[in-house]
Amino acid sequence: MSRAVQTIATEPDPGPLLRLVRRQEIAFAMVGMVNTGLGMALTVMWLKVFGDHVPAAAAPAAAYAVSIVIAFVLHRTLVFRVRGHLIRDFLAFCGVNSGGLLMNMLLLQLAVSILHLPDIPSAVVVMGLVAIASFFGHRHISFRRKPVTAPDAA
């Protein structure tokens, strides 16, 4: 059996989203947009649920606690298509997301306070850079798998 046939035989089914868009980067961005919208909706919902009984800052924290689990499941099943290592993957996913938040905060502060760039355009550019870094972080850290090699038929 040729090496090309062995590789094709061991590759997992790309799943419905990757069959539709064909690029992992685009699928990642689509899931990210859905999760961003979900995070916004959850924040508003928690603000209404908590009312004046809880500080407003608790709403995005509660929204994040829910949306990070949903984002993990969507990225794991629709974008990176991995199995096994559930706890390790989730902890790594949270680590990459936390690193992205820290990177976002530091780069925005640098752009606005030190470089004296306008805040809103800087925030947009920084978020784009963090999204790109997050994609590679999730690909190479959160959902990294060793390549599967087929046994040699020779």
pLDDT higher for 92 or 9? 92
pLDDT tens column, 94-135 = 999 999 999 999 999 999 999 999 999 999 999 999 999 999
Q: CA 86, 88, 89, 92: dihedral to nearest 10 degrees?
A: 160
- Return the residue matching tokens 């046994």: 151
Residue 115's SS3 state is coil
Q: What share of the chain is helix, strand, coil (3-state, %, to 5)?
A: 80, 0, 20
Report whether 143 contacts 75 (CB < 8 A): yes
Cα angle, residue 36 at apex, residues 32 and 40 outer, rounded to 5° = 170
> Residue 7 — pLDDT band, cuts 50, 70, 90?
very low
* Distance (Å, whole) CA 72 – CA 98: 13
DSSP state, 56? T
pTM over 0.85: no
Interval 4-25 mean pLDDT = 71
